[in-house]
Homo-oligomer: A and B are copies of this chain.
Amino acid sequence: MFLSLGEIMLRFCPGDRPLRAATQFTFSEGGGEYNVARALSRCFGHKSGVVTSLVDNELGHLVRHLVEGSGVDTSNILWQDFDGIGKEVRNPLYFAERGFGYRSPKAVMDRGHSAPSQMSVKDVDWKMLFEGGEVKWFHTGGIFAGLSESSAEVAEAAMSAARDAGVHVSYDPNFRSSLWHSRGGSSSAAELNRKLAIYADTLFGVAPLLHPSPPSSTPDGISALMHETTLAFPQLKAIVVGRRTVHSASSHDYAASSWLNGEIFHAEGYQRIDVLDRIGSGDAFAAGYISSTIEGLDPIKSLQMGCAAAALTMSTPGDAVLVSRQDVEQLAQPNQLGEVR
């Protein structure tokens, strides 16, 4: 079982209109770390679960139904009492427009006092959770860890316990500037990421970590940065990086690179991807990679699977991987790489 620790927000989408000119909202549930678990279950057919916290009101149960609808185990959700107005603790929300052409995507976060940000190290008995041996891979990242002082502690306790139990640990040093606004920005985030990276077997991304922002985003630059990172964190077994080029809100390239026990691999990915909604495509990449790696695919094919999942996720509304495993596999076939079908 794959287990993720993260915040699940209810995302409100105004369709093809800007947020400030919305006329109605569709919604879905999402959040960086959770998205990986969801994709592993919903698309790739692996068992997965999530550790998170929700407030016990109608919105919390709406989120629960959505999570269950993707086959993700919800038995490790920590339910907190509702205070009636959302002052002590809230279900986190965000509002996101998807962008179009020259109009960039945009998100308004409303996650202050979120249930996950109020979690404390005492809330979960991580040792017990991992000792059964059911969890094979544990994943969390810089978004959850960056929610609050206590969520950082929760992340550290979880990663440490997982490592102790021999569970494979992955970490995504994801950065949301809004979370670090009054807490030191990307430098502080990098510091936290460095504190947590020592527990990881696999890293998804390399910044902010040694540097507050990546010194280069070219394949060579990323290769160098991966190398530098492994020197700093010698316990790492893998670094996996998706490389995105944004031509416009409606057209991206997506390629990927990895460092595996000293060796570096590059996958061409896809060019001029028509983008309907980019949110969640990086998480789709991670899920595609993890699924393939678990199943024993070779390094480049695993990266390809990740890129294909990312590309297909950009072709659908919302941040979930809505397509089937067969769709991903078909796009990732060798003769599909590097050309627009």
Hey, which bits of chain A sit against chain B, CB under 8 A? 12, 16-27, 42, 57-59, 61-62, 65-66, 68-71, 74, 82-88, 90-91, 93, 95, 97, 99-104, 106, 108-113, 177-179, 181-182, 246-251, 270, 273-276, 308, 311-312, 314-317, 320, 322-324, 327, 330-331, 340-341
Contact = CB atoms under 8 A, between A and B. Distances in A.
Given A68-B70, A274-B250, A85 B59 contact: no
Contact of A108 (B57, B69, B274, B322): B57
A13 B91 CA distance: 17
A177 B82 CA distance: 13
A69 B102 CA distance: 26
Contact of A327 (B90, B103, B331): B103
B273 A101 contact: yes
Contacts of A331: 102
State how many copies of this chain the complex holds: 6
A103 B317 contact: no
A88 B87 CA distance: 11
B317 A16 contact: yes
A109 B55 CA distance: 12
A93 to B, nearest CB: 8
A66 B315 CA distance: 22
Given A68-B70, A88-B112, A341-B247, A24 B21 contact: no
B102 A59 contact: no
B20 A62 contact: yes
Contacts of A249: 341
Contacts of A250: 274
B84 A109 contact: yes
11 contacts: A12-B25, A18-B316, A20-B61, A20-B65, A57-B108, A58-B95, A91-B110, A102-B331, A104-B327, A104-B330, A248-B274
Contact of A247 (B12, B90, B308, B340): B340
A102 B18 contact: no
A43 B175 CA distance: 30
A20 B87 CA distance: 21
A214 B315 CA distance: 31
